[in-house]
Amino acid sequence: LTTKDLAGEHILITAGPTREELDPVRFISNHSSGKMGYAIAKAARRRGAAVTLVTGPTCLTEPCGVATIQVTSAEEMRQAVMAAFPASTIIIKAAAVADYRPVARAVAKIKKTAGSLSLELEKNPDILFELGKIKADKILIGFAAETGDLLDNAAKKLTVKNVDMIVANDIGAEGAGFNVDTNIVKLLFKDGRVEDVPLMGKQELADVLLDRAVKLKGR
Ligand code: PMT
């Protein structure tokens, strides 16, 4: 039985890594596979939402019935997210956005020399932070990928980024985080509540996250 409990909602989801290019052949990125974000997009579609998925480069197949926008860099992801934001009612940011990018992208391949090489990096825009400032009554859900002090760091992100819920991911735990089919998370809410979600498949977790989004919406 499929419940269309998200009918009428427009859910914007981000997934995957971003790539920040150094030159025509090299980039800075991370281990995100896109599995978590794509799982949420599929579940949201199945439950009747109109879904826009903004995704960095992954090996995954675009989900059926989902408006998928492929991007590469954080700046491209920002532009796509900002364009889709006004029409959306719920935003879930599972993407692993690179915090830094090279100050300049070399036009030609950077040549190997005898010495060492230093890269100068500058900060990327924090898309979730920007959305937090303009969210109004939209439901905004962020992730926090941490290797230590999980609850403290996630709680800071909840407040600073002004989101309704943070999905805190201890990416050092077995069966959690990047490029696996399962996850283990804690959900942090504005009223101080923390909910432990045990090890489960990312597809199953996607439904748990959408259940909480439905509650936050007061549906
Ligand atoms: O893709 P998978 O292989 O399935 O792995 C899933 C995952 C580990 C990537 C996912 O569960 C996860 O934790 N995603 C968030 C990764 C991350 O970048 O966390 P963060 O703590 O650095 O960022 C916090 C939040 O701010 C995130 O919602 C992120 O999308 C957002 N952000 C971060 C930096 C930035 N410049 N702009 C952002 O919008």
CB atoms within 10 A of CB 85: 18
Question: Buried (b) or exposed (e) across 43-57, using 16+ Cβ within 10 A?
Answer: bbbbbebbbbbbbbe
Mean pLDDT of 136-144: 97
The answer on pLDDT for 192 being more than 90 is yes
Closest residue by Cα to atom 24, ligand 1, is 144
Q: Which residues, 6 or more positions from 192, have their beta carbon under 8 angstroms from its beta carbon?
A: none
Q: Which residues line ligand 1 (CB under 6 A)?
A: 14, 16, 32-36, 74, 93-97, 99, 124, 126-128, 142-145, 157, 169, 171, 177-179
Counting ligand 1 atoms within 8 A of each CB, the residue from 55, 135, 143, 178 with the most, and so the one to mutate, is 143
Predicted TM-score (pTM) of this structure: 0.98
**Gap between the Cα atoms of 102 and 76, Å rounded:** 15
pLDDT at 1 over 60: no
Mean pLDDT of the chain: 97
Domains in the chain, CATH or no CATH each: 10-103+121-217 (3.40.50.10300)
Ligand 1 atom with minimal separation from the 81 CA:
39
CB 69 within 8 A of CB 54: yes
